[in-house]
Amino acid sequence: MRFTRVLMLGWGLLGMVAVSGAVAGNAQPGLGQAGAPWAYEGKLGPLNWSHLDPAYKVCSEGHEQSPIDIRGARRNKALAPIEFHYVSGGMSLLNNGHTVQVTPPAGSYIIVNGERYDLVQFHFHHPGEEMVKGKLPDMSLHLVHRNAEGKLAVIAIRLNEGNANAVLAGLWEHLPKTVGATDKMTESMSPMGLLPADRAYWSYMGSLTAPPCTEGVKWIVFEQEVELSRDQLKSFGYLYKVNSRLEQPTHGRKIEASE
Ligand SMILES: [Zn+2]
Protein backbone atom coordinates (compact mmCIF):
# COMPACT_ATOMS: atom_id res chain seq x y z
CA MET A 1 0.00 0.00 0.00
CA ARG A 2 2.73 2.35 1.04
CA PHE A 3 4.91 1.32 -1.90
CA THR A 4 2.05 1.88 -4.29
CA ARG A 5 1.48 5.35 -2.90
CA VAL A 6 5.14 6.30 -3.31
CA LEU A 7 5.06 5.00 -6.86
CA MET A 8 1.92 6.99 -7.55
CA LEU A 9 3.53 10.12 -6.16
CA GLY A 10 6.53 9.47 -8.38
CA TRP A 11 4.30 9.29 -11.42
CA GLY A 12 2.46 12.33 -10.20
CA LEU A 13 5.69 14.25 -10.09
CA LEU A 14 6.53 13.20 -13.61
CA GLY A 15 3.14 14.57 -14.51
CA MET A 16 4.10 17.79 -12.76
CA VAL A 17 6.95 18.42 -15.17
CA ALA A 18 4.40 18.61 -17.93
CA VAL A 19 1.99 20.61 -15.81
CA SER A 20 4.49 23.13 -14.45
CA GLY A 21 4.98 24.75 -17.84
CA ALA A 22 1.31 25.54 -18.02
CA VAL A 23 1.17 27.13 -14.58
CA ALA A 24 4.59 28.77 -14.53
CA GLY A 25 3.01 32.11 -15.31
CA ASN A 26 1.53 32.09 -11.82
CA ALA A 27 4.94 31.46 -10.26
CA GLN A 28 3.52 28.89 -7.84
CA PRO A 29 5.62 29.40 -4.73
CA GLY A 30 7.12 26.09 -3.82
CA LEU A 31 4.62 24.17 -5.81
CA GLY A 32 5.08 23.05 -9.37
CA GLN A 33 8.32 24.94 -9.81
CA ALA A 34 11.11 23.37 -11.78
CA GLY A 35 13.31 21.39 -9.41
CA ALA A 36 13.97 17.86 -8.30
CA PRO A 37 10.91 15.69 -7.61
CA TRP A 38 9.94 15.51 -3.93
CA ALA A 39 7.22 13.90 -1.86
CA TYR A 40 5.80 13.72 1.66
CA GLU A 41 7.08 10.24 2.46
CA GLY A 42 9.71 7.71 1.47
CA LYS A 43 13.02 8.50 -0.17
CA LEU A 44 11.76 11.81 -1.51
CA GLY A 45 10.23 12.75 1.84
CA PRO A 46 10.81 15.77 4.12
CA LEU A 47 13.91 14.35 5.87
CA ASN A 48 15.64 14.11 2.49
CA TRP A 49 14.37 17.24 0.78
CA SER A 50 17.63 19.13 1.24
CA HIS A 51 19.59 16.34 -0.48
CA LEU A 52 17.33 16.14 -3.54
CA ASP A 53 18.36 19.43 -5.12
CA PRO A 54 20.95 22.10 -4.18
CA ALA A 55 18.10 24.59 -4.42
CA TYR A 56 16.40 22.78 -1.48
CA LYS A 57 19.36 23.10 0.91
CA VAL A 58 17.64 25.64 3.11
CA CYS A 59 15.00 22.99 3.95
CA SER A 60 17.47 21.57 6.50
CA GLU A 61 20.06 24.36 6.86
CA GLY A 62 17.67 27.26 7.30
CA HIS A 63 16.92 28.72 10.72
CA GLU A 64 13.54 30.20 9.84
CA GLN A 65 11.63 27.17 8.56
CA SER A 66 7.90 26.52 8.71
CA PRO A 67 5.64 25.25 10.08
CA ILE A 68 6.31 25.78 13.79
CA ASP A 69 4.45 25.01 16.97
CA ILE A 70 2.82 28.30 17.92
CA ARG A 71 3.18 29.02 21.63
CA GLY A 72 4.44 31.82 23.84
CA ALA A 73 3.18 34.53 21.47
CA ARG A 74 3.53 38.10 22.65
CA ARG A 75 0.76 40.65 22.12
CA ASN A 76 1.84 43.52 19.93
CA LYS A 77 -0.62 46.42 19.77
CA ALA A 78 1.19 47.75 16.70
CA LEU A 79 0.01 44.78 14.59
CA ALA A 80 -2.86 46.23 12.57
CA PRO A 81 -5.84 44.12 11.52
CA ILE A 82 -5.36 42.58 8.07
CA GLU A 83 -7.43 44.45 5.48
CA PHE A 84 -9.10 42.10 3.02
CA HIS A 85 -9.95 43.14 -0.53
CA TYR A 86 -10.96 39.78 -1.96
CA VAL A 87 -13.18 39.66 -5.03
CA SER A 88 -15.63 36.96 -6.17
CA GLY A 89 -15.17 34.95 -9.31
CA GLY A 90 -14.73 31.51 -10.82
CA MET A 91 -11.86 29.51 -9.33
CA SER A 92 -9.46 27.24 -11.22
CA LEU A 93 -8.42 24.08 -9.39
CA LEU A 94 -5.32 22.01 -10.10
CA ASN A 95 -4.28 18.72 -8.54
CA ASN A 96 -0.52 19.30 -8.77
CA GLY A 97 0.71 16.09 -7.13
CA HIS A 98 1.38 17.79 -3.78
CA THR A 99 -1.97 19.39 -3.06
CA VAL A 100 -5.05 20.82 -4.69
CA GLN A 101 -4.18 24.38 -5.62
CA VAL A 102 -6.82 26.97 -6.36
CA THR A 103 -6.12 30.00 -8.53
CA PRO A 104 -8.54 32.88 -8.02
CA PRO A 105 -9.27 35.50 -10.67
CA ALA A 106 -6.91 38.49 -10.50
CA GLY A 107 -7.76 41.42 -8.26
CA SER A 108 -7.85 40.00 -4.72
CA TYR A 109 -5.36 41.46 -2.26
CA ILE A 110 -4.71 42.16 1.41
CA ILE A 111 -3.08 45.10 3.21
CA VAL A 112 -0.64 44.07 5.93
CA ASN A 113 0.70 46.98 7.96
CA GLY A 114 0.20 49.35 5.05
CA GLU A 115 1.61 47.05 2.40
CA ARG A 116 -0.33 45.44 -0.44
CA TYR A 117 0.01 41.71 -1.15
CA ASP A 118 -1.90 40.13 -4.04
CA LEU A 119 -3.60 36.76 -3.59
CA VAL A 120 -1.78 34.36 -5.93
CA GLN A 121 -3.26 30.97 -4.99
CA PHE A 122 -4.55 28.94 -2.08
CA HIS A 123 -4.17 25.26 -1.25
CA PHE A 124 -4.71 22.66 1.45
CA HIS A 125 -2.71 20.37 3.73
CA HIS A 126 -3.95 17.17 5.37
CA PRO A 127 -3.32 16.84 8.25
CA GLY A 128 -2.90 20.54 9.02
CA GLU A 129 0.51 22.12 9.53
CA GLU A 130 -0.04 24.90 12.07
CA MET A 131 0.41 23.32 15.47
CA VAL A 132 -0.81 25.45 18.37
CA LYS A 133 0.55 24.49 21.78
CA GLY A 134 1.21 20.99 20.55
CA LYS A 135 -2.12 20.41 18.84
CA LEU A 136 -2.33 19.85 15.09
CA PRO A 137 -5.49 20.79 13.20
CA ASP A 138 -7.21 18.26 10.92
CA MET A 139 -6.33 20.34 7.87
CA SER A 140 -4.77 23.69 6.95
CA LEU A 141 -5.70 26.21 4.30
CA HIS A 142 -2.86 28.41 3.05
CA LEU A 143 -3.68 31.61 1.16
CA VAL A 144 -0.48 32.69 -0.60
CA HIS A 145 0.03 36.41 -1.31
CA ARG A 146 2.87 38.27 -2.97
CA ASN A 147 3.82 41.96 -2.91
CA ALA A 148 5.38 44.06 -5.68
CA GLU A 149 8.89 43.10 -4.54
CA GLY A 150 8.08 39.40 -4.71
CA LYS A 151 7.92 38.94 -0.92
CA LEU A 152 5.34 36.43 0.27
CA ALA A 153 2.72 36.65 3.00
CA VAL A 154 0.79 33.45 3.71
CA ILE A 155 -2.43 33.38 5.70
CA ALA A 156 -2.96 30.06 7.43
CA ILE A 157 -6.38 28.90 8.55
CA ARG A 158 -6.73 25.83 10.75
CA LEU A 159 -9.61 23.57 9.72
CA ASN A 160 -11.10 21.15 12.24
CA GLU A 161 -13.87 18.61 12.10
CA GLY A 162 -17.29 20.02 12.94
CA ASN A 163 -20.17 21.39 10.90
CA ALA A 164 -20.11 21.19 7.12
CA ASN A 165 -18.47 24.17 5.46
CA ALA A 166 -20.71 25.63 2.75
CA VAL A 167 -17.94 27.45 0.90
CA LEU A 168 -15.69 24.39 0.86
CA ALA A 169 -18.65 22.33 -0.35
CA GLY A 170 -18.71 24.44 -3.52
CA LEU A 171 -14.97 23.97 -4.03
CA TRP A 172 -14.98 20.27 -3.17
CA GLU A 173 -17.42 19.56 -6.00
CA HIS A 174 -14.59 20.47 -8.32
CA LEU A 175 -11.68 18.68 -6.64
CA PRO A 176 -9.62 17.26 -9.52
CA LYS A 177 -9.18 13.58 -8.67
CA THR A 178 -6.02 12.74 -10.58
CA VAL A 179 -2.59 14.35 -10.59
CA GLY A 180 -2.30 16.94 -13.32
CA ALA A 181 -6.07 17.25 -13.64
CA THR A 182 -7.76 20.64 -13.53
CA ASP A 183 -11.29 21.87 -13.03
CA LYS A 184 -12.93 25.25 -13.14
CA MET A 185 -15.86 26.52 -11.10
CA THR A 186 -18.46 28.11 -13.31
CA GLU A 187 -20.26 29.54 -10.29
CA SER A 188 -18.71 32.51 -8.53
CA MET A 189 -17.25 32.32 -5.02
CA SER A 190 -15.29 34.66 -2.77
CA PRO A 191 -12.30 33.55 -0.72
CA MET A 192 -13.78 35.82 2.01
CA GLY A 193 -16.14 32.95 2.78
CA LEU A 194 -13.19 30.82 3.88
CA LEU A 195 -12.08 33.21 6.63
CA PRO A 196 -13.06 32.88 10.31
CA ALA A 197 -15.33 35.57 11.77
CA ASP A 198 -12.65 36.67 14.23
CA ARG A 199 -9.54 37.85 12.42
CA ALA A 200 -7.13 38.04 15.38
CA TYR A 201 -3.87 36.43 14.34
CA TRP A 202 -0.38 35.28 15.23
CA SER A 203 2.49 36.39 13.05
CA TYR A 204 6.07 35.21 12.61
CA MET A 205 8.74 35.01 9.93
CA GLY A 206 9.16 31.61 8.30
CA SER A 207 9.40 29.74 5.02
CA LEU A 208 7.49 27.85 2.39
CA THR A 209 6.54 24.52 3.97
CA ALA A 210 7.49 22.60 0.81
CA PRO A 211 10.62 22.63 -1.39
CA PRO A 212 12.43 24.86 -2.09
CA CYS A 213 11.55 25.93 1.53
CA THR A 214 12.37 29.56 0.70
CA GLU A 215 12.63 31.79 3.78
CA GLY A 216 11.52 35.39 4.25
CA VAL A 217 7.83 34.45 4.26
CA LYS A 218 5.55 36.44 6.55
CA TRP A 219 3.16 33.99 8.21
CA ILE A 220 -0.22 35.13 9.48
CA VAL A 221 -2.05 32.39 11.36
CA PHE A 222 -5.63 33.06 12.44
CA GLU A 223 -6.33 32.23 16.07
CA GLN A 224 -9.91 31.18 15.34
CA GLU A 225 -10.41 27.84 13.65
CA VAL A 226 -12.85 27.06 10.85
CA GLU A 227 -14.98 23.93 10.71
CA LEU A 228 -15.59 21.36 8.01
CA SER A 229 -17.52 18.10 8.17
CA ARG A 230 -16.06 14.64 8.56
CA ASP A 231 -17.16 13.85 5.00
CA GLN A 232 -15.40 16.94 3.69
CA LEU A 233 -12.25 15.91 5.54
CA LYS A 234 -12.52 12.43 4.07
CA SER A 235 -12.96 13.75 0.54
CA PHE A 236 -9.66 15.58 0.70
CA GLY A 237 -7.95 12.81 2.67
CA TYR A 238 -8.90 10.40 -0.08
CA LEU A 239 -6.81 12.45 -2.52
CA TYR A 240 -4.02 13.35 -0.08
CA LYS A 241 -3.68 11.10 2.93
CA VAL A 242 -0.60 13.00 4.13
CA ASN A 243 0.63 16.20 2.48
CA SER A 244 2.04 18.15 5.39
CA ARG A 245 5.42 18.92 6.87
CA LEU A 246 6.23 18.41 10.55
CA GLU A 247 7.02 21.22 12.98
CA GLN A 248 10.41 22.90 12.56
CA PRO A 249 12.65 24.35 15.31
CA THR A 250 11.94 28.01 16.05
CA HIS A 251 15.60 28.93 16.78
CA GLY A 252 14.37 31.66 19.09
CA ARG A 253 12.05 33.31 16.61
CA LYS A 254 9.51 35.71 18.01
CA ILE A 255 5.82 35.02 17.55
CA GLU A 256 3.59 38.05 17.87
CA ALA A 257 -0.15 38.18 18.46
CA SER A 258 -2.47 40.91 17.18
CA GLU A 259 -5.03 42.57 19.42
ZN1 LIG B 1 0.92 25.26 2.18
CATH of the domain at 224: 3.10.200.10
**Predicted pLDDT at 23:** 32
Q: What is the percent of the chain with per-residue pLDDT over 90, rounded to a whole number?
A: 86
Kindly state whether residue 224 falls inside one of the protein's structural domains.
Answer: yes
Kindly state whether residue 17 falls inside one of the protein's structural domains.
Answer: no
Residue 258 Cα to ligand 1 midpoint, Å, equals 22
Greater model confidence, 134 or 29: 134
pLDDT in tens, 85-118: 999 999 999 999 999 999 999 999 999 999 999 9
**Predicted pLDDT at 34:** 77
**Predicted pLDDT at 19:** 34
pLDDT in tens, 71-94: 999 999 999 999 999 999 999 999
Kindly state whether residue 74 falls inside one of the protein's structural domains.
Answer: yes
Residue 218 Cα to ligand 1 midpoint, Å, equals 13
**Predicted pLDDT at 258:** 96
Would you say 207 and 64 are in contact if contact means Cβ atoms under 8 Å apart? Answer: yes
Kindly state whether residue 246 falls inside one of the protein's structural domains.
Answer: yes
- Enumerate helices (H) and strands (E) in the chain, giving the number of each: 5, 15
Residue 142 Cα to ligand 1 midpoint, Å, equals 5
Domain count, the chain: 1
Task: Compute the average pLDDT of residues 202-221.
Answer: 98
Cα–Cα distance for residue pair 209/256, rounded to 1 Å? 20
Range of the domain at 127: 63-257
Residue 130 Cα to ligand 1 midpoint, Å, equals 10
Kindly state whether residue 4 falls inside one of the protein's structural domains.
Answer: no
Residue 129 Cα to ligand 1 midpoint, Å, equals 8
**Predicted pLDDT at 33:** 58
Q: What is the percent of the chain with per-residue pLDDT over 70, rounded to a whole number?
A: 87
Kindly state whether residue 21 falls inside one of the protein's structural domains.
Answer: no
Residue 243 Cα to ligand 1 midpoint, Å, equals 9
Would you say 140 and 210 are in contact if contact means Cβ atoms under 8 Å apart? Answer: no
**Predicted pLDDT at 203:** 98
pLDDT at 180 over 50: yes
pLDDT in tens, 215-234: 999 999 999 999 999 999 99
Of 51, 63, 85, 98, the catalytic one is 98
Residues 48, 54, 55, 60: what is their CA dihedral angle, to the nearest 10 degrees?
40
Per-residue pLDDT band for 259 (boundaries 50, 70, 90) equals confident
Kindly state whether residue 109 falls inside one of the protein's structural domains.
Answer: yes
Give me the chain's average pLDDT, please: 90
Per the annotation, the verdict on 98 as an active-site residue is yes
Kindly state whether residue 220 falls inside one of the protein's structural domains.
Answer: yes
The alpha carbon of residue 147 and the mean position of all alpha carbons in its chain are separated, in whole angstroms, by 17
Residue 125 Cα to ligand 1 midpoint, Å, equals 6
Task: Compute the average pLDDT of residues 135-149.
Answer: 98
pLDDT in tens, 23-80: 333 334 444 457 999 999 999 999 999 999 999 999 999 999 999 999 999 999 999 9
